[in-house]
């Protein structure tokens, strides 16, 4: 269930100069309050969607919405509204998303660097994740290293990269070994056929 909608928080409150009240006909100060509206997801602000507010006569306590204000009061209200700054917290979700994207980008970059290093200096039990000719995903694991690097292939494939963990089970690997040179493996990685190498 997704909780989304809009909310608001007070941005500024200020007393005006003495101006006539349209309700009590007395000259009085008004307490002008401005609120910032924002869209939220799970109650976390995503982005601002404008400002709203009102004014309260300190003499008769009548509340005036912007559409009910006369020229003098509306001018005071607009001045306070212009002074009210949208807080950074109204962009909270956007900052969180930006941080997550940056983190994923850095993680992906580091994974790529690690994979290059692991291919250049292979070790037994390194796990290679690769894309098959049929556009599925599977794994192969280094079983031994001599003049070539020998792998055992996973007998199963998955249609999602995220499904690799479900098929990476010892009993799923063939007994037969297949040999590759480091250069061949680097070529497969460069062509994005091998897309990640993991080392425990």
Domain boundaries, the chain: 4-86, 111-198
Closest C-alpha to 8, from 42, 41, 48: 48
Cβ 19 vs Cβ 44: under 8 Å: no
Residue 66 CA: distances (Å) to CA of 39, 75, 107, 108, 182:
22, 10, 50, 51, 73
Sheet-wide strand order for 30-41: 4-15, 30-41, 44-57, 63-64
What mean pLDDT is predicted for residues 2-12?
Answer: 85
Only one residue has tokens 């300190």, namely 58
Residue 112 pLDDT greater than 80, yes or no:
no
The whole-angstrom separation of Cα 193 and Cα 159 is 15
pLDDT of residue 186: 93
Task: Supply the pTM of this predicted model.
Answer: 0.50
Which residues have C-beta within 8 Å of that of residue 151, sequence separation ≥ 6?
Answer: 128, 140, 141, 142, 143, 177, 178, 179, 180
Top-confidence residue, 165 or 3 = 165
Output the CA torsion sign for 5, 9, 12, 16. positive
Top-confidence residue, 101 or 188 = 188
């Amino acid at each position: 269930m997704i909780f989304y909608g809009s909310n608001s928080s007070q941005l500024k409150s200020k007393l005006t100069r003495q101006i006539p009240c349209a309700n009590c006909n007395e000259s009085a100060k008004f307490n002008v309050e401005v609120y910032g509206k924002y869209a939220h997801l799970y109650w976390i602000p995503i982005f601002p969607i404008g400002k709203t507010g009102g004014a309260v006569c300190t003499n008769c306590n009548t509340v005036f919405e912007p559409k009910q204000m006369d020229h003098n009061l509306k001018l005071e209200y607009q001045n306070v509204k212009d002074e009210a700054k949208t807080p950074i917290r109204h962009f909270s979700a956007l900052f969180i998303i930006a941080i997550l994207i940056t983190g994923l980008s850095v993680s992906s970059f580091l994974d790529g660097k690690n994979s290059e290093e692991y291919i250049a200096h292979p070790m037994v039990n390194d796990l290679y994740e690769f894309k098959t000719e049929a556009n599925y995903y599977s794994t192969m694991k280094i079983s031994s290293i001599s003049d070539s690097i020998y792998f055992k292939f996973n007998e199963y494939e998955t249609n999602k990269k995220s499904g690799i963990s479900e098929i990476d089970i010892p009993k799923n690997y063939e007994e037969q070994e297949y040999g590759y040179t480091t250069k061949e493996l680097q070529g497969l990685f460069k062509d994005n056929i091998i897309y990640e190498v993991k080392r425990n």
